[in-house]
């Protein structure tokens, strides 16, 4: 009994393998047939197109007839005009008009010979699945980078709009921002960067910081954050002792305009 079962299972496996091989052979044969048909109709169209400047000459009419012969044979096998057009670089309407105009222009009512053309198979509906790409590995913060984040983070928070560009605070703030963006370029998580600052920055704070440096689009940061502008208000020509002339002018008096 066991031998009979084993034999039946072996025969089933053999049939499955044979069916798979046959399906592969059929698919290969069809691919080759379609490729050959495309070559033939493309060659006929090029020949017809080359005779357009010699309209109504025997060569022009012969090339036109050869092309229409292939088109009508393909149509008999179920090929739509648009599919034939893709083979020769025409629209479906262009193929249809080329075929109909031959009949009306030449008054040729004879039955054209049938040439070999594969049966049309409708392509599967829906979009073909996109090939899967390997997930980008998540980066890791080095001990040196973690120390830099811890040291620079609190200082970076001290930088305000009025902080001079050449001040130590401003330089360290920009070094901190640059480091954060370099880490994000290595696909390091926001949470990991925030943790490395040991409390000086939250994830939201980091995201807003890179947005203010005009790089928010690189990591899907809200576009509503105003970009940081490198303008040193301490260098403003109207500043007097750290204030603008408007701030130092007594109430009721008019401020003069620097010229």
* Mean pLDDT, range 2-12, rounded to an integer: 57
The residue among 205, 156, 147 whose CA lies nearest residue 178 is: 156
230: phi > 0 → left, psi -120 to 50 → alpha, else beta; which? beta
Q: CA 108 → CA 73, 98, 115, 251, distances in Å?
A: 16, 14, 18, 100
Q: Confidence class of residue 161 from pLDDT cuts 50, 70 and 90?
A: confident
pLDDT of residue 4: 57
Cα–Cα dist 7/4, whole Å = 5
Q: For residues 209 and 190, is the Cβ–Cβ distance under 8 A?
A: no
The residue with tokens 């008999």 is 76
* Mean pLDDT, range 200-219, rounded to an integer: 75
Bridge partners, 239 (sequence order):
244
Q: What one-character DSSP code corresponds to residue 249?
A: S
Low-confidence winner among 172-186, 205-219, 220-234, 241-255 (lowest mean pLDDT): 241-255
Q: What angle do CA 249, 159, 157 make, to 5 degrees?
A: 135
Angle of helix 92-106 relative to helix 81-88, nearest 10 degrees, comes to 100
Q: For residues 43 and 86, is the Cβ–Cβ distance under 8 A?
A: no
Q: What is the pTM of this model?
A: 0.42
198: phi > 0 → left, psi -120 to 50 → alpha, else beta; which? left
Which is more confidently placed, 224 or 244? 224
* Mean pLDDT, range 119-143, rounded to an integer: 79
pLDDT of residue 23: 76
Low-confidence winner among 92-101, 131-140, 224-233 (lowest mean pLDDT): 224-233
């Amino acid at each position: 009994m066991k031998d009979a079962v084993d034999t039946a299972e072996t025969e089933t496996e053999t049939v499955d393998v044979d069916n798979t091989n046959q399906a592969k052979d059929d698919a290969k044969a069809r691919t080759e047939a379609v490729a050959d048909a495309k070559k033939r109709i493309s060659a006929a169209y090029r020949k017809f197109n080359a005779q357009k400047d010699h309209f109504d000459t025997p060569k022009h009419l012969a090339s036109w007839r050869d092309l229409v012969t292939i088109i009508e044979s393909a149509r008999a096998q179920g090929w739509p005009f648009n599919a034939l057009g893709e083979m020769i670089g025409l629209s479906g309407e262009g193929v249809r008009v080329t075929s109909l105009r031959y009949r009306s222009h030449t008054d040729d009512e004879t039955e054209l010979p049938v040439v070999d053309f594969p049966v049309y198979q409708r392509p599967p509906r829906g979009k073909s699945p996109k090939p899967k790409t390997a997930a980008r590995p998540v980066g890791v913060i080095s001990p040196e980078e973690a120390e830099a984040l811890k040291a620079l983070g609190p200082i970076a928070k001290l930088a305000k709009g009025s902080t001079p560009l050449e001040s130590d605070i401003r330089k360290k703030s920009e070094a901190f921002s640059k480091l954060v963006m370099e880490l994000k370029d290595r696909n390091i998580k926001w949470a990991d960067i925030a943790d490395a600052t040991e409390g000086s920055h939250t994830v939201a704070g980091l995201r807003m910081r890179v947005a203010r440096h005009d790089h928010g689009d690189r990591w899907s940061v809200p576009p509503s954050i105003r970009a940081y502008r490198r303008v040193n208000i301490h260098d403003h020509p109207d500043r007097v002792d750290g204030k603008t002339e408007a701030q130092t002018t007594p109430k009721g008096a008019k401020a003069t305009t620097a010229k």
